[in-house]
Structures are given as structure tokens and as C-alpha cells.
Amino acid sequence: KTAVCFSDRHYPIGKIDDKMYSSFTEHLGRCIYSGIYEPGHPKADEDGYRMDVMELVRELNVPVIRYPGGNFVSCYDWHDGIGPKENRPKRMDYAWSSIETNEFGIDEFCRWAKKTGVEPMIAVNLGTGSIKDAGDLVEYCNHPGGTYWSDLRIKNGSREPYGIKYWCLGNEMEGSWQAGHLSAEDYTKKALEAAKIMKWADPSIKLVACGSSYEMLPTYLEWDRTMLTELFEQVDYLSTHNYTMNSGQGLTNYLASYKQLDTHIKNSATVINYVKAKNHFQKDVKICLDEWNVWNFQDIKLDSLDDLMGLTTFEMTSAEKWETAPAILEEKYSLLDAVVLGGLGITLLNNADVVEIACLAQLINVIAPISTLRNGGIYTQTTYQTFHTLSTYGRGTAMRAAVEAPEYECEFGKLSIVEPAVVYNEEADEVRIFVLNCSQDEAVKFDIRLQGYGDKELKRHLVLSGGDLELRNTPEKPDQVVMKEIKPEEKMSAVLPELSWNVLILG
Ligand code: AHR
């Protein structure tokens, strides 16, 4: 099989914002406790942060990390997590049926973020929380001093304000699984008032409004239209979430999941455009895909994502009732999952004109690329390879690409056997082509035709592929699945192994 990929320097999609490689840490399972934070661990620093985790997070070059939830935030009172640790209350976390000790709160997160070199993005509780709590949290974090909440931050050890720029107005508020779930009309009113107070506390902040995340809900997109009509001028981003699941749809359809994400993103962009046009708004709202990943719900047996509706978190996870930091949602990713994640990454790049922030959900232990052992070592999942490669090479300008290739049928219609995303990195003067080869039984000869980039030739070919799609990394065998390098044999052509995710670097 042969495919030809065309790209012209004069046809950009858009600049890839660095925030495309952001991530997410939630008080869920062992993400925070024994993930980020494990006092007494041999690798913990003086604040109890695991330095082995920090090192891997730095290696991923993640610019922004969303915190503290997720579903968790909708039951969370941020006041519980500040001040002397011995006074902090233990609470039932209804979102994940766990005990929250509150040893780790906003101050610990912001200090960890600073040490790690990442920027926090904070979600406020618009479920069970009040709009006043949201405003107070902005004051606590961002006001220099001389007021009750800012002075309390100083008393708690942080003289300098945290200067948090990105704030999420709640999480998945359209879903009945969310504590304090609201109708679109009620969310609109609450978010509008919260936004007002939060911006009074700090006018420089950027706001992310909850959009629809689940396509099967009857409110899908209508929620966004209702809400954006009122909030368009107050917010900077529309949040949406999208998880890809290998749930018996068959290999062909699972590999093609990038197309489902593409439609999901384009649907959100369509509502933004509709509301903008209808109301003659002048400004733009970008998409903040603040949760995306492959999530196979390995804790439970599901036939499809639809089966999730109506499940309690007890049923959704292997959580025993009311444990502290239970080992739940600790997905063990396969080579196939890593290849599929690569396809999703290609979709993000091809939508760089509308998606400004994307957070891989999540970062540590919970549906994550980084895995730790309690009081033990650390290793990376197969998906670490993909995300690391995307974050390393997927910076610059996303370019339009056209492809001539054989097609195949799948649940998303007729698709080309290869799916590319072309990135031009101005600094290195390199063209980097990410390409998914969905051909399951044959390698594909991939010819590259570039125009307007100057003289370029294939310098490197990185690939994720292999015979055993079920291969996983383990603490004992942490390097079972890694990106491999193939020596290019031709200047403008590469052979893409069957069922593979590739990066072709031309300089
Ligand atoms: O990332 C795990 C959960 O998935 C989040 O808490 C929630 O927002 C989403 O449904």
C-alpha cells in the first residue's frame, strides 16, 4: 500500500499553544496521596513531595496542571485544606467514596507546582460550593495582602500571591453524577455570578466554563448554547471532556477513535461559532479540552460507555467503602492503547485552531502515564511514550495536510488508511509529521510532498508498533513498550509498519 501526504507552508491550521500538553491531577485514588505527595517516602523532599514523580512530570514538559478535580471538586470545601495540618478535618469524599484527609490542599499544590515548574489551573466548586467561596479562593490565591483571605495565605506560609491565571467554573455540571448538578439555566446563573465575583477579586484571570462532555446526554450541545449565550463575554474557554474506550467495538473502530474525538471537538467549535454569530459577539472563545485520554474502565466490566450512566462510584471503581487513597482507576495501558492515544494526539494537532488547552486526564496513578508504588518505585505506562513524544515534537505551527491513500470502512464512515498531522517547528526549521497507520496487516509506503519549506529531507523516523498489542509496562519490566527509531532509507519517503504510530522528522 502507498500513501502520499501533501503539505504547503502557506496553509497553516494555527499555532499550537504550549498548553496543548497540559494535564490534570485530582484528589482521586492515589493521584495526590502516594502519587504527588508521600511524606516519609525515601524520595520525598522536605515538603513530602516525591522527587521521582516531579522528575518525570518535568520530563513530560507539561505547562499547566488542572486541580483539584474532576468530580471531587463538586463536594470539596477548599477551606478544609489550609492551615495547620493537625486541624484539618477528615471528610467523606462522595465523588469517589473515599476518605479525604485534607493533608494536601491548595497551598501544597501551588508549592508543588512551583517546584515542578508547572502552572496551576484551579477548578472551583460550583456544585455544593457557593459563589462567595469561589471569590474567596481567588482572593486567597491571588491578592497580594492586606485582606482577610490574602493575609491568611501569608500566615499559612506563602508571602507571594500564587498568581493563578486559569480558573474552571465547576466540573461537568451538566451530569447527574455531579454533586450539586444543575440545569443549563441554573448553571448559567450561578457561573455568571461566580465569574463576576472572581473577576472582582482579580480582573486578570481567565475563565473556563463547563460545556457538554457526554454526547449521549439529551442536553448535549444545547447546554452549551444556552450557557454560552449568557457567558460568552465573561469567559475565555469552553470546557469539554472526551474519553476513548476500548469496549468491544473491534480493533478497526478502536484505532479510528481519533475521528470520534475530531467530531466531538468540531461540535463544540460549532456551538461557539453559532452563539458568536447569532449574538454578534466580537471576541473569541477557545476550547479547553480539560480531560482527554484512553480510559478502559479496567476496574469494572463494561460493554460500552453507555453502561456507565446510572452507576454509582462504588460500582464504577474497585473502591471499598471509605478508604483513604484507595488504588482505584489505575489503568494498565497496552501498546495498542498507546497507539490509539497517538491517534487522538493527531486530532488535537489538526484542531489547533480551536483547541488552546488540552489536559491529559490524568497524570499520576489514576488513568495516567506515570505509576508509583506506595512506599516504592516508579515506572511509566505505555501511554507515557506517546504523550512524551507529542509534547517533545508537537510544538510549533500545525499545518494543513492532504493525503491520498487507500480507504477503509469503519463505524465513522470511510477513512483513509493513514491519518497524518503536520507540524512546522520554526525554531528548529523542521517539519514533523505524526502519522497513524491503521493498516492492520501491511506496512504502508508513505511518500512526503512538501512545498514552501525549503530543502528538507527525512532525518529521523520514530515509531510505536509491535506484534503483541497487549504488551504492557510493569514495575519489573518497565521498558517493554518504548518508541523505537528506524533509520530512514529514503529522503522523502518512509515505510510505516502495520498498525503503528510514527513521527517523521524532516530537516
Ligand atoms: O478523570 C476522572 C473523572 O472523569 C473526573 O473526575 C470527571 O470530571 C470525569 O468524569
- Span from the CA of 290 to the centroid of ligand 1 (angstroms): 10
Instruction: Give yes or no for residue 469 having a pLDDT over 90.
Output: yes
Three-class DSSP category at 168 = strand
**Prediction ipTM score:** 0.99
How big is the chain, counted in residues?
507
For the CA of 362, the nearest atom of ligand 1: 1
Query: 172 CB under 6 A from ligand 1?
Result: yes
Instruction: Please tell me which residue, 294 or 306, carries the higher pLDDT value.
Output: 294
C-alpha cell at 358: 488540552
> Which set of grid coordinates corresponds to residue 303?
460493554
Q: Which residues contact 221 (CB under 8 A, 6 or more apart)?
A: 212, 267, 268, 270, 271
Question: What local confidence, expressed as pLDDT, does residue 25 receive?
Answer: 98
Q: Residue type at 459?
A: K
What does the pLDDT read at residue 479?
Answer: 96
CA 27, CA 506: separation in Å to the nearest integer?
42
Max CA pair span of the chain: 69
Quickly name the fold that domain 17-393 has.
Answer: TIM Barrel (3.20.20)
Active site residues: 172, 291
Nearest atom within ligand 1 for CA of residue 175: 10
User: By CB neighbour count within 10 A (0-12 exposed, 13-18 middle, 19+ buried), where does 283 fall?
Assistant: exposed
C-alpha cell at 208: 473556563
pLDDT digits (tens, 9 = 90+) for 148-178: 999 999 999 999 999 999 999 999 999 999 9
Q: Is the CB of 188 under 6 A from ligand 1?
A: no
Beta carbon of 168 within 6 Å of any ligand 1 atom: no
In this predicted structure, the answer to whether residue 196 has a pLDDT above a threshold of 80 is yes
* Contact call for residues 329 and 364 (beta carbons, < 8 A): no
98 pairs with which residues across the strands? 93, 323
For the residues 463-489, what does the mean pLDDT come to?
Answer: 96
Residue nearest atom 4 in ligand 1 by C-alpha distance: 70
Instruction: Give the pLDDT band of residue 313 (cuts 50, 70, 90).
Output: low
- Give the per-residue pLDDT at 382: 98
pLDDT computed for residue 42 by the predictor: 98
Which of 71, 245, 295, 362 maximizes ligand 1 atoms within 8 Å of its Cβ, making it the mutation to test the pocket? 71
SS3 content of the chain, % helix, strand, coil (to 5): 30, 25, 45
Taking CA atoms only, the protein residue closest to ligand 1 atom 2 is 70
How far does Cα 231 stand from its chain's mean position? 23
Ligand 1 centre from 139 Cα, in Å? 27
Instruction: Report pLDDT digits (tens) over 339-391.
Output: 999 999 999 999 999 999 999 999 999 999 999 999 999 999 999 999 999 99
Decide whether any atom of ligand 1 lies within 6 Å of the 100 Cβ.
no
Q: Is 71 in the pocket of ligand 1 (CB under 6 A)?
A: yes
Q: Each residue of 15-40: pLDDT tens digit?
A: 999 999 999 999 999 999 999 999 99
Kindly report the pTM of this predicted structure: 0.96
Q: In a mutational test of the pocket of ligand 1, which residue from 172, 240, 308, 312 has the highest number of ligand atoms less than 8 Å from its CB?
A: 172
Residue 388: CA atoms inside 13 Å, Cβ hemisphere, count? Answer: 19
Determine the 3-state secondary structure of 14 from DSSP.
strand
Q: Is the CB of 69 under 6 A from ligand 1?
A: yes
Q: What pLDDT score does 321 carry?
A: 77
Parse the chain into domains and list their residue ranges. Answer: 17-393, 399-506
pLDDT at 268: 98
Task: Name the closest-CA residue to atom 1, ligand 1.
Answer: 361
8 Å CB contact between 258 and 410? no
User: What is the CB neighbour count within 10 angstroms for residue 160?
Assistant: 11
Reported as a single tens digit per residue, the pLDDT across 47-68 is 999 999 999 999 999 999 999 9
Q: Give the right CATH number for 399-506 from 3.40.50.300, 2.60.40.10, 2.40.40.20, 2.60.40.1180.
A: 2.60.40.1180
Residue 24 Cα: closest atom of ligand 1: 1
**Quick check: CB of 75 below 6 Å from ligand 1?**
no
Confidence of residue 87 (pLDDT cuts 50, 70, 90): very high
Question: Between helices 106-116 and 51-60, what is the axis angle to 10°?
Answer: 60
> Is the distance from CB of 496 to CB of 488 less than 8 angstroms?
no
The 10 Å Cβ neighbour count of residue 440 is 13
